[in-house]
Structure 1
Amino acid sequence: MSSYPELENEIERLQALYELSILDTQPEERFDKITRFAQEYFQCKICLISLVAEDRQWFKSKQGLSACETPRNVSFCTYAIAEEEYLIIPDAHKDIRFANSPLVKGEPFIRAYAGIIIHSPNGYELGTLCIIHDEPREFSEQDIEMLKKFGGMVEQEIKKSANQ
């Protein structure tokens, strides 16, 4: 896997993430409801709320995966937060960035990925709401719109936490 993209605002982005005090917290039903519903809606193997820290991605909510985090250098979500809104990978075997990834070649055998960026209340890229399949999959405009809606729900919950 090639090295991941660096963000221009990485220092400010990480500061916004750490100020939320959400990393390494206990699971919360309000986030788990969103990932369960998204997993059911998309009929996907895995659905995650992934927060991208300095050297890892940590999962605030996870469906279909036992790991709590993965190294950032193998993270699909690291690539997603460098995009404008979302990242779609219909077949990871055919994408040069991911074809040799240990997450593609081994557990969880990622083939298709769709991730929508989750922003902090002040607009920084925190991570993604993502869906993962173990078979190739095309994502329609309707799929992307629904993923955006689920992502908006996550952002609302994060905003509620920031205001408490």
Structure 2
Amino acid sequence: MSWTLRRATDADLEAIMAIETAMFETDAWSPATMAAEIGGPHGYYLVAEAPDGGVDGYAGLLAPEGSGQADIQTIAVVEQARRRGLGRTLMLALLDEARRRGATEVFLEVRADNPGAQALYRQLGFAEIAVRPNYYQPDGVDAVIMRLAVPEHQATLA
């Protein structure tokens, strides 16, 4: 399957929230929080649009220009689109934007009970630096904090 990545807009909020509430049943962001993130001056939110026009995933970055740091705020891919490289594609797009904004390090938090996501992040070069006990509520699941030293962009030959 082929997706088109594009900047998220307010018009995508309903589709994003449908995924958000399905994926993060107990700790989903509110529509107001998500809208503020999408429209915020330091954010960079993408949606993965399927050929039929539906949204199969989204991801968000918080990266104030020139701060040197960025945070992966959220990423989600619908069940039927998993294991096809979409999560990796979204992450790479966020990392490219973080680099463009001058970030030299990127942080993220991931649920301790999500080994699939942790494996992807490790493959991308993230390393565990700390744990926040009982961070995800009401489930009481720990958050694993991970950090990536942003590598220099490497041009490739066509």
After TM superposition, is the score higher than 0.5?
no
Q: Higher strand proportion, which one?
A: 2
Q: Which has the higher contact order (CA 8 A, sep 6+)?
A: 1
TM-score (structure 2 length as normaliser): 0.31
